[in-house]
């Protein structure tokens, strides 16, 4: 059973875009899409979306490869549908 992490801590981690050395912050995430499909992204970075994130309760997640380069499309993720973050279960 994975450890637990509070959703507020996840949101704070998602808002950090880069490390002090300038490299992107990479994490793994599991979330549910609108249609109920469960999505696992083993290496992802945070990115922006074309609308207000806080008003729509969404965050942008982009899959990356081992070099940190884009390897898929941007997923708009509802914060209420995040199930796991860095192998830790997300709880309220």
Read off the pLDDT of residues 37-91 as tens digits, 9 standing for 90 and up: 999 999 999 887 777 766 778 888 999 988 878 888 889 899 899 999 998 999 9
pTM: 0.82
Class of domain 4-91 as given by CATH: mainly beta
Query: What is each CA distance from 21 to 17, 18, 25, in whole angstroms?
Result: 12, 8, 10
Q: Between 53 and 9, where is the model more confident? A: 9
The pLDDT value given to residue 53: 64
- Band (15; pLDDT cuts 50, 70, 90): confident
Q: How many CB atoms lie within 10 A of CB 47?
A: 15
Q: In 3D, which of 22, 62, 67, 17 has the Cα closest to residue 44?
A: 62
Domain ranges of the chain: 4-91
């Amino acid at each position: 059973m994975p450890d637990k992490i509070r959703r507020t801590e996840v949101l704070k981690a998602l808002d950090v875009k880069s490390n002090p050395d300038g490299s992107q912050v990479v994490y793994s995430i599991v979330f549910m899409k609108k249609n109920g499909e469960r999505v696992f992204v083993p290496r992802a970075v945070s990115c922006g979306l074309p609308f207000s994130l806080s008003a729509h309760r969404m965050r942008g997640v982009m899959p990356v490869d081992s070099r940190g380069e884009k390897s898929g499309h941007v997923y708009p993720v509802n914060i209420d549908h995040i199930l796991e973050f860095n192998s830790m279960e997300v709880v309220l």
